[in-house]
Structure 1
């Protein structure tokens, strides 16, 4: 059970956070939600896909990390961080931290401002090991400064994702995709319920549609999604290599 509280340099002066990644620390997940603000980095190493939220029926962006539940093929204890990729999705890298909102009065109006919260029950939170959050002489530690930047990526991404999907849908760019593949073991797998960008529809957009998407900052993101699909093969290769090492 989580215990989310507002982060402050008095109550959490001794709090430390383990900055590495492992299954034991809760990072064994097959997919995670990602945001438009990180598509350009993500497309270099992960397959970006879309899924519909079960409750809202709205599109969300995700990246594949594994081929089955509780599997993350990017976890690798031989790497210093425990993660075998240059870029870690912000929703994973943020660890126990999240964005909350605090209401303040500005010129007689209630204004919500984003603030940092921490889950004190998260497996990476302790007082014995890991990165410090605050410096002894005051101020945020380099690690907390890094986390603040990640949370800003998430905050901005949350702000723009709805408009991005609306633009993609209005241009007829989103299509369902089933991912079928066979492992070296001969086992056949199928990943369903995913959507992607229709490359032909993207190629055949009118000049007006291209201009509009470009002005909104979404055209490069659509191309990033298309380019990222080549990483599905790399993910399957990682899966096969790990299975070979474990003898499965």
Structure 2
């Protein structure tokens, strides 16, 4: 049976968790305490970069959420979460990478920066650009690139629904708001929805990681 190392507050882990559940794949969940489990010697043999998620399939270890999702899609093609048509597939891939590279870093800024700082304002402006882009890509489809759920919906769906809790009003983006509501009505998404306490824990985790990263950068610049 597949072994899945995860913690529900991790957006990257939740992508894989949702994929497993939507595809109804049997797996053994291994819950990681992010205050130290990921640094233990036993886990480092699974992922030397001490990150989650990790999927282990009969000794084959896969790291990085997008790679794991592609693996699951290839090995368990039913139900399909990737369209075959070239433009639809391009939409899925674009939304996956725009979410990872353009949206999520701005969510981190909203969590970490002071609300009156230039960085906070810049993050909100960039998120507006992302949401307008997603609106254009979604167009009138129920899901990204398809009338059925895709991997892009799972990736973006672990980020966009958190925006109202960070001061972004999705009512200004009607198509995105409707898409988010469709996702949240799915049984799997209701089952895995973060509680308010979990989301606060996620924000605390983000602040700690950003602070540590900036401290390392400052120490490196002083050398």
- TM-score normalised over the length of structure 2: 0.29
Who wins on radius of gyration, i.e. which is larger?
1
Q: Which has the higher contact order (CA 8 A, sep 6+)?
A: 1
Q: Which has the higher helix share?
A: 2
Q: TM-score, normalised by structure 1?
A: 0.27
